[in-house]
Chains A and B, each alone.
Chain A
């Protein structure tokens, strides 16, 4: 089974631009979560999508948004980029059940997209 894939792997943008990152989950996984990883803050949850609906959201400004398609692929968008948005953006897919209270939510991470904002 192919793992989680993310494109692009590396991206350089300038302040004020916007960026779209893509994630293809493991086949059959319906839940896709996005995380931001920085040296200072560690891994922080951005949002989770399940069946094309945002199921959970972290504490990030509205400049961060996402969506999920019917084939479970997901994209996240960051508008009006700031220097502090430079980070590794990780996508994780999970064979989560339909209930948000599923007791086992092992997440399989993709390789990440390294975003540098200049």
Chain B
């Protein structure tokens, strides 16, 4: 079966760095997505990792280890607007557009 685990909540301070972890168990692997969702809004795409290693995009970076079934999202120089839910998702192998999402990590950035 498929399973994705993320911490439910995290709190961090403006200007700091925070790491949001995601562990997954899937039969077959077709990459891993990170989405950001502000309250009352649609999820928006942050990153997609299919190979091991770190991918950096400005203040956000995402890391993947396929052998460990592990990913993390790293947010640097936190801003108040980064307060949101961060969703880890994996597409189901050989099932096209089907994504399985973790429960999401609610990040609160404090001044």
Contact = CB atoms under 8 A, between A and B. Distances in A.
Contacts, number: 79
A105 B87 contact: no
B100 to A, nearest CB: 7
A94 B34 CA distance: 16
Contact of A58 (B48, B98, B102): B98
A33 B42 CA distance: 14
Interface residues of B, number: 27
**Majority-rule SS of B interface residues:** loop
B96 A45 contact: no
Contact of B97 (A50, A103, A110): A50
A5 B89 CA distance: 22
A7 interface: no
Interface string A1-35: 00010000000000000000000000000011101
A84 interface: no
B80 interface: no
B42 A111 contact: yes
Interface residues of A, number: 32
Contacts of A44: 101
B101 A56 contact: no
A96 interface: yes
Contacts of A50: 96-97
B10 interface: no
B9 to A, nearest CB: 13
Contacts of A107: 45, 97, 99
Interface of B: 30-31, 33, 35, 41-45, 48, 50, 87, 89, 91-104
**The 6 residue pairs across chains A and B that have the minimum distance between CB atoms:** A109-B42, A100-B96, A43-B101, A48-B97, A42-B103, A56-B98
9 contacts: A31-B96, A35-B101, A50-B96, A90-B43, A92-B97, A101-B93, A102-B96, A105-B91, A109-B43
Given A45-B99, A50-B97, A58-B98, 7 more contacts: A33-B98, A43-B101, A43-B104, A99-B96, A100-B94, A105-B30, A105-B99
